[in-house]
């Protein structure tokens, strides 16, 4: 992962359907609002994030997501530097965590820390991939053997 690079853009709104309708008339973006409640994914671009009453004074607008290695340490630096955290370390299951905050000028920014695959998960994935290859090779060999028997 490239560190401290903007990797995602998000439109924050209290009316996600209105923005989806608006942008679908202008661009040929593909929208997916089935990913999780309150979020519409815009294929290859970013997403539309619904601001709920629980989020308080979080403003509407576009938020850029910056990659970080350690979201907890980044939140600490945000607070120490005079930033305001709107949404602290929220998990996107099996993907990572994000925090949405405002800088001292009230610009909304977010940070993203992707989940690192655990060694066990990596090993299971490698075993599964190897098993698929072996199964494919066995099927191919069986096909060849069957042709020779005929």
Q: What is the CATH number of the domain that holds 99?
A: 3.10.180.10
Residues 50 and 105 in one domain: yes
Domain contains 39: yes
Residue 122 has pLDDT above 50, yes or no: no
Residues 24 and 80 in one domain: yes
Residues 62 and 126 in one domain: no
Q: Which two tokens stand for residue 149?
A: 């028997």
Residues 41 and 68 in one domain: yes
Three-class SS state of 123: helix
Residues 106 and 149 in one domain: no
Half-sphere exposure of 67 (CA within 13 A, CB side): 11
Residue 27 has pLDDT above 60, yes or no: yes
Model confidence pLDDT, tens digit, residues 2-15: 678 888 899 999 99
Domain contains 44: yes
Domain contains 1: no
Which residue do the tokens 């053997």 mark? 145
Model confidence pLDDT, tens digit, residues 71-88: 999 999 999 999 999 999
Structurally, the chain folds into a number of domains equal to 2
Residues 14 and 79 in one domain: yes
Question: Given this model, what pLDDT does residue 113 score?
Answer: 96
For 23, the domain range is 6-114
Question: Given this model, what pLDDT does residue 141 score?
Answer: 64
Residues 25 and 61 in one domain: yes
The sign one gets for the Cα dihedral 53, 58, 63, 67 is negative
pTM of the complete model beyond 0.75: no
């Amino acid at each position: 992962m490239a560190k401290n690079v903007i990797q995602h853009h998000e439109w924050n709104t209290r009316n996600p359907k209105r923005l989806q309708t608006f942008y679908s008339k202008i661009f040929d973006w593909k929208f997916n609002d089935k990913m999780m409640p309150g979020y519409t994914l815009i294929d290859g671009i970013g997403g539309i994030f619904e601001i709920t009453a629980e989020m308080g004074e979080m403003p509407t607008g576009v938020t850029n997501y910056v990659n970080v290695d350690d979201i907890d340490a980044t939140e600490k630096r945000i607070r120490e530097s005079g930033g305001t955290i709107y949404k602290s370390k929220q998990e996107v299951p099996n993907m990572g965590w994000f925090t949405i905050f405002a800088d001292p000028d009230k610009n909304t920014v977010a940070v993203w820390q992707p989940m690192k695959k655990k060694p066990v998960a990596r090993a299971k994935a490698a075993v599964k991939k190897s098993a698929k290859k072996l199964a494919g090779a066995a099927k191919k060999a069986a096909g060849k053997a069957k042709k020779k028997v005929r």
